């Protein structure tokens, strides 16, 4: 029975390490999705005369747009709904600050101003995406190993 308990402790340490690694990967994936969303919004603004809410509704394959559409604020203020969806999805404070700045400039200028705004935030997103990818690449193995090490150490202490 004691051995089973120790194995469960080791497994829980490994699980914690894996969960931490998944969160790193999720951040990189979400930032990549944001990059594609910005490109899609830029194309939509350039070639159509849709409102912001229509642009969001046409892009429900993106988690942020889906979250914004589900918000009760969407019908009255699609920008606030998009901001709220970002607050729910973006865990990193720097990513959230970047996204908040992006949403504050949405829909406040003419077509060319919107295109320039999106281009600016695309360029600001690139280093964040590169950093997230690098962190995921480097820290994934370390976090899994640390989780396993913590589980094994605690298991040995309990032995």
Reported as a single tens digit per residue, the pLDDT across 86-111 is: 999 999 999 999 999 999 988 888 88
Q: Which residues contact 127 (CB under 8 A, 6 or more apart)?
A: none
Q: How confident is the model at residue 40 (pLDDT cuts 50, 70, 90)?
A: very high
Q: Are 34 and 64 in contact (CB under 8 A)?
A: yes
- The domain locations on the chain are 2-158
Question: What is the spatial distance between Cα 93 and Cα 18, in angstroms, rounded to a whole number?
Answer: 22
Name the pTM for this structure.
0.82
Q: Which residues contact 29 (CB under 8 A, 6 or more apart)?
A: none
Q: Give the H/E segment covering residue 122.
A: helix 111-158
- Tally of CA atoms within 13 A in the half-sphere of 45 that contains its CB: 22
CA torsion sign, 62 to 65 to 67 to 70?
negative
Q: How confident is the model at residue 150 (pLDDT cuts 50, 70, 90)?
A: confident
Question: What is the spatial distance between Cα 121 and Cα 41, in angstroms, rounded to a whole number?
Answer: 12
């Amino acid at each position: 029975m004691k051995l089973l308990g120790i194995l469960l402790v080791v497994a829980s340490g490994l699980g914690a390490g894996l969960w931490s690694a998944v969160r790193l990967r999720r951040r990189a994936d979400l930032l990549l999705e944001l990059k594609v969303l910005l490109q899609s919004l830029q194309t939509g603004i350039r070639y159509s005369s849709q409102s912001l809410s229509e642009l969001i509704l046409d892009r429900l394959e993106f988690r942020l747009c889906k979250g914004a559409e589900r918000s009760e604020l969407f019908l009255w203020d699609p920008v606030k709904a998009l901001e709220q969806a970002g607050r729910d999805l973006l865990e990193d404070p720097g990513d959230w600050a970047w996204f908040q700045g992006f949403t504050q400039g949405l829909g406040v200028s003419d077509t060319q101003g919107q295109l320039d705004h999106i281009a600016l935030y695309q360029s600001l997103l690139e280093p964040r995406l590169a950093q997230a990818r690098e962190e995921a690449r480097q820290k994934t193995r370390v976090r899994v190993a640390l989780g396993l090490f913590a589980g094994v150490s605690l298991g040995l202490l309990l032995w």
